[in-house]
Amino acid sequence: MVSRATSRRRRGFTLVEMMIVLVLTVVMALLVVQLGSHWSDNARLTRVQAQLQHAYDSTKSAALQNPLASTRGESAATLCLLDGAFAVVLGDDCAAHAVWSFAYDAVVGVSLADPDSRCITLDSAGVAIAAADCSTDLRFSITTGSAHVENKSF
């Protein structure tokens, strides 16, 4: 005959089982945090890329409307990459009053293909032209956290 003490199993969790559950919970939490930051970076990148495209489209629209009556080959409108903002100005002076602007997060890095330029100038036909400190190369790069786009063109 088996005694009652040996036939009964103890109820509850052992320390090893609790440690396994704790480790699995921590691993899952770390994965969620990592995926969350990646999703956030991708969303920020997509938003800034769309705004940069909109800025370029607005620049081209302003150039084609040509309110300054610029001739072909002269600056009609400029897309300026300022610190933390995009601006569209008439002419080629980035210090002039912007007809359109958008501020973006400071953690986002935006650059043109030409590392020394901070603007793209378009003539009355919407063609990129050479201007002081402006690029004729229509490629750009955007970086934020773990997400990046390199050498994308308008």
pLDDT at 107: 86
What's the average model confidence in pLDDT over 23-29?
Answer: 89
Confidence (pLDDT) at 6: 55
Cα distance between residue 145 and residue 37, in whole Å: 8
d(CA 64, CA 43): 31
Query: Is the predicted pLDDT of residue 4 greater than 60, yes or no?
Result: no
**Residues 51, 136: Cα–Cα separation, whole Å:** 20
The partner residues of 148 in beta bridges, in order of sequence, read 143
CB 128 within 8 A of CB 77: no
Q: What is the pLDDT of residues 37-92, one digit of tens each?
A: 788 888 889 999 999 999 999 999 999 999 999 999 999 999 999 988 999 999 99
pLDDT per position as a tens digit, 115-147: 889 999 999 999 999 998 899 999 999 999 888
Q: What does the domain layout of the chain look like in residue ranges?
A: 13-153
